[in-house]
Amino acid sequence: MAVEIERKFLVVGDAWRSLGSGTVYRQGYLNTEKERTVRVRVAGDRGFLTIKGVSEGIARSEFEYPIPLEDANELLDHLCDRPLVEKVRYRIPWGELVWEVDEFLGENAGLILAEIELPDASYPLELPDWIGEEVSHDPRYYNSALAKNPFCNWGNSVPNVSSG
């Protein structure tokens, strides 16, 4: 079984911007039940279908498959729930790992998150200075949750996020 072990953080400042190049992502959800999410994604010029299981701490099962770009766009345009989640993802090498910084667009504009996939849950992680509060266990920051309750609707319940 494929397992994703991931931690997620708010981003502070702009120091990360010069460390990696960005790719536009557009993604939507066919299912967002707690037990499973089914996501369609276009990343640059590639399409993917991803199925994720329920989170257990910072780990969950994940199965991702490439699909034809035309199929991915058709699913996003006609079958996925609204709003779609749009973002620019920056990949930033850091030691042996790679941070993925997501600068959200559209209804989630203003939110910038950093994720890092770990080889195991107890992996010792050294945080760059542009990493802020950890939000790994806050379900509001799941991309599937941002599709249901976009960042623009959060109002005063928003923690201090990057002004970047």
Residue 23 domain-assigned?
yes
The confidence score (pLDDT) of residue 77 equals: 98
Assessment of whether the complete model's pTM goes beyond 0.95 = no
Domain range for 73 is: 3-157
Q: Return d(Cα 39, Cα 24) in angstroms, integer.
A: 16
Residue 162 domain-assigned?
no
Residue 52 domain-assigned?
yes
CA 37 to chain centre: 13
Rg (CA), the chain: 15
The confidence score (pLDDT) of residue 161 equals: 52
The confidence score (pLDDT) of residue 48 equals: 98
* Mean pLDDT, rounded, for 49-71: 93
Q: How far is CA 18 from each of CA 24, 26, 48, 86, 161, rounded to the nearest angstrom?
A: 17, 23, 28, 21, 19
DSSP three-state, residue 37: strand
Catalytic residues: 29
Residue 164 domain-assigned?
no
Please tell me which residue, 157 or 81, carries the higher pLDDT value: 81
DSSP three-state, residue 19: helix
Pairing relation of β-strands 3-11 and 22-33? unpaired
Residue 114 domain-assigned?
yes
Q: pLDDT category, 133, cuts 50, 70, 90? A: very high
12: DSSP letter: -
* Mean pLDDT, rounded, for 75-90: 97
Domain count, the chain: 1
* Mean pLDDT, rounded, for 17-39: 94
Please tell me which residue, 60 or 127, carries the higher pLDDT value: 127
Residues in the chain: 164
Residue 162 has pLDDT above 60, yes or no: no
Residue 163 domain-assigned?
no
Q: Return d(Cα 152, Cα 159) in angstroms, integer.
A: 13
CATH number at residue 12: 2.40.320.10
Percent of the chain with pLDDT over 90: 80
CA atoms within 13 A on the CB side of 86: 8
Residue 16 domain-assigned?
yes
* Mean pLDDT, rounded, for 79-88: 96
Q: pLDDT category, 164, cuts 50, 70, 90? A: very low
Residue 70 domain-assigned?
yes
The confidence score (pLDDT) of residue 156 equals: 65
